[in-house]
Structure 1
Amino acid sequence: MAFTLHELAHAYIAYKFGDPTAKNEGRLTLNPLKHLDPIGTILIFIIGFGWAKPVPVNRFYFKQPRLAGVLVSIAGPLTNLMLAFFAQATYIALDIASVQVPLFVSDLLITMVSLNILLFVFNLIPLPPLDGYRIIADLVPNHVRPKLTQYEQYGGLVFLVIAITPLSKYTITPLFNVTIPAIGQFLGKVVGAIFGL
């Protein structure tokens, strides 16, 4: 669900800005089979980490490429944040109403909250090919963008170095350890305020 809605959000916003590329490739759908990458999906089950198939975007269709590019890129992470919010709200609503649900349902909701916050933060890391990099690439001045582009091919390697080597203790791990709980607490306060807690 997290991957599917993330990629669908990219495809939908791109389509709304005039780019039919993703729609023409069948990506404007809730069918997860259209969005899951075979290798990325297998790795989820093997190592607990994977990825979905990136949505194709053709910027030449955009009348305002920079604005559309930012909104298309941020649509995926924001969708994950909204999923975390709705899962948290559902969990609290069930608790307030004293609704007895199977343990797997409450576990699923808790997992949805943490997983979608993780995806929100992860995808905003400013390294290619992640959404955070795409957002920055569209926000920087025109003369800077070509300089960024020439280093895009090294983005995956840089990420692996800072994520799976001992350097992760000083890069990715602190980022996740600080931001994910902070966002979780913020969502909890927002949901609590909505329910008058």
Structure 2
Amino acid sequence: MLFSIIQSLVQGESVGIADVIASILAMLFIIFCILPVHEWAHAWAAYKLGDSTAKAQGRLSLNPLVSFSPVGALFLLLFGFGWAKPVPIDSRYFRNPKRDTALVALAGPLSNLIVAWLGAIILNGIYVASNHSLPAFVMAFFSAYININVALAVFNLIPLPPLDGSKILGAFLSNRTLYNFYRYQNIIILIAFIVLFTGVLDRPLTWLNQICAMGVYWLGSLPYELFGML
């Protein structure tokens, strides 16, 4: 995120200071308040499915210090995607390891979409309460907040290790295929990073982010539309 802002400045493009500040505040809020929710969702789902490993290690918590990752936070600030300290999961405690591991993995991205939706509801509430007008700073903050959460959800659903999508994909693979998948995961991770940083996935990821963001904004406005407030 900051990397793209710096690029714009280097290229001589105009960048609004208020928009930059709003985006940085949104990213800091996500780092300290939302990434912990993502990890808590994993821990909570695992606990409900029979694995108390995260709870025993104090990871079933919304305390940002428990799940803070300096590198993940730096990546979010610079590039718009990042991570928190992953919660420990032991699939041996699950009744159906492949299915339950996938459900635990899905809980994280789903939490990002839920908090993005709540952000859209709050944004529309401010719009209605302020007589159908929004300060530019407020719009910039919530736009960054919603779009980053959507991007985190979409990014984490990519079916490549160590992302959540790889664990969801695992539920649909045979045991032999799954074994080989994780056997070569280090090579797959290296290839994934090369692909991401060469921009090969930029267009499809942007398209998916836009579709999901449109859905979130629509769902956020729906309660107000139903009561004729918008």
TM-score, scaled to structure 2: 0.77
Letter in 1 for 2:123: Y
CA deviations 1:145-164 (Å, max 9, x no partner) are: 11212121223211211111
For 1:84, the equivalent position in structure 2 comes to 116
Matched residues, number? 193
For 1:145, the equivalent position in structure 2 comes to 178
Match of 1:126 among 154, 159, 181: 159
The answer to whether residue 61 in structure 2 is matched with residue 29 in structure 1 is yes
- Displaced runs of 4 or more, over 6 A: 99-102
Consecutive unaligned residues in structure 1, runs of 5 or more? none
1:51 positional shift: 2.1
Larger RCO: 1 or 2 (CA < 8 Å, sep 6+): 2
Structure 1: distance between partners of 2:150 and 2:67? 20
Letter in 1 for 2:167: R
Letter in 2 for 1:142: N
Q: Report the aligned-residue RMSD.
A: 2.0
Structure 2: distance between partners of 1:161 and 1:108? 31
For 1:172, the equivalent position in structure 2 comes to 201
Q: Percent identity?
A: 35
Instruction: Assess, with a 3 A threshold, how the Cα gap between structure 1 residues 22 and 134 changes in structure 2: closer, same or farther.
Output: same
Structure 2: distance between partners of 1:127 and 1:141? 16
- Does the aligned pair in 2 maintain the 1:73–1:134 contact within 8 Å? yes
TM-score, scaled to structure 1: 0.89
Match of 1:53 among 53, 62, 85: 85
Match of 2:98 among 50, 66, 82: 66
- Does the aligned pair in 2 maintain the 1:83–1:112 contact within 8 Å? no
- Does the aligned pair in 1 maintain the 2:81–2:152 contact within 8 Å? no
1:184 positional shift: 1.3
Deviates more, 1:181-190 or 1:122-131: 181-190
Structure 2: distance between partners of 1:87 and 1:154? 38
Letter in 2 for 1:190: L
For 2:18, the equivalent position in structure 1 comes to none
For 2:20, the equivalent position in structure 1 comes to none
Larger Rg: 2
